[in-house]
Homo-oligomer: A and B are copies of this chain.
């Protein structure tokens, strides 16, 4: 029973169908009819003008978006446990040409205005330090926790005040929207660019970079090509995204994943590090307890020496979640 990650789940049948339906040759790259529909689709979803570019991976989406707001001698403020800091093999250093990540703390891998301000206040020595130019936050965070719409407004105000770009890593944005139960625009807040993830939520290989500033989107187009991320048969990526947006399939799938993990959490009780707000659950478990669970057929990730991470996918069976909950409760 698979709780290792949502990043290897199958592709949703409706996504497969949409890709097959796009088989007829159309203009290459993003000149095809499907890619051309993305701006409109996301503008409708967010209730404001935006530009959306597909890309195949979250790392590319994050780094290409950040590259539109950070110069090579600049810096991005992010959480010390952010994916861009921890898990991307220095990709930000590559895409941003050596710009720095300035690390801040915050509970559950969420930045607070206070933590951001502390980083900014440490930048006082002119050209001897890198200037902060952007903030990157993750919705839902690496611990599956969400920023509230109000919290986002506060961070956005701080970004504005200091002239910083604001980026959101939304690898699990769908799960955040499902939890917050608010319009996508409220869950995105005043960000300049959102990496809207679909791959973990039923797609094969499609993420949308959503830009609320068209100049940044134009810049990202060059950088996407230059990074080898402009696929020639881009219509298949657009097809995936459009299929998931259709009739809010993306939201249904995220709700399913969140629901499965909530089911487990209700049994895990006080062992949980946090009450889950997305599709991830962090549970304190001893090595012996983990072994016991694995012996029962549960696959999951060792977060650290004391904690295991369980992630549900859009297709996690209800009975697997029930079984896992019971197994944890029985430890």
- Interface residues in chain A, defined as those with a beta carbon under 8 Å from any beta carbon in chain B: 2, 4-5, 7-11, 16, 19-20, 23-28, 32, 55-61, 63-64, 71-73, 75, 86-100, 125, 127-131, 199-200, 204-205, 219, 221-233, 235-236, 313
Contact = CB atoms under 8 A, between A and B. Distances in A.
Contacts of A204: 19, 233, 236
Nearest to A226: B89
A327 to B, nearest CB: 20
Residue of A71, A98, A229 with highest tally of chain B CB at under 10 A: A98
Given A8-B232, A63-B228, A75 B57 contact: no
B89 A232 contact: no
B90 A100 contact: yes
Contacts of A32: 8
A123 B313 CA distance: 27
Contacts of A88: 128, 225-226, 228
22 contacts: A11-B233, A16-B20, A56-B229, A56-B231, A57-B229, A59-B225, A63-B228, A71-B219, A72-B72, A73-B94, A75-B90, A88-B226, A89-B127, A89-B129, A89-B222, A90-B100, A90-B130, A94-B226, A94-B227, A128-B225, A199-B231, A227-B227
Contacts of A87: 125, 128-129
A41 B231 CA distance: 25
Interface of A is mostly: loop
A57 B98 contact: no
A125 B83 CA distance: 13
A40 B200 CA distance: 29
A26 B8 contact: yes
Contacts of A57: 228-232
Nearest to A23: B10
Contact of A25 (B10, B71, B199): B10
Contacts of A91: 225-228
Contact of A89 (B60, B90, B130, B200): B130
Contacts of A93: 72, 93, 97-100
Contacts of A56: 56, 205, 228-229, 231
A205 B223 CA distance: 19
Nearest to A95: B228
A130 B221 CA distance: 12
A126 to B, nearest CB: 8
Nearest to A86: B129
B23 A8 contact: no
B23 A11 contact: yes
A251 to B, nearest CB: 21
What 8 A-B pairs are tightest by C-beta distance, nearest first?
Answer: A93-B98, A60-B228, A59-B228, A7-B232, A127-B225, A8-B28, A89-B225, A10-B23
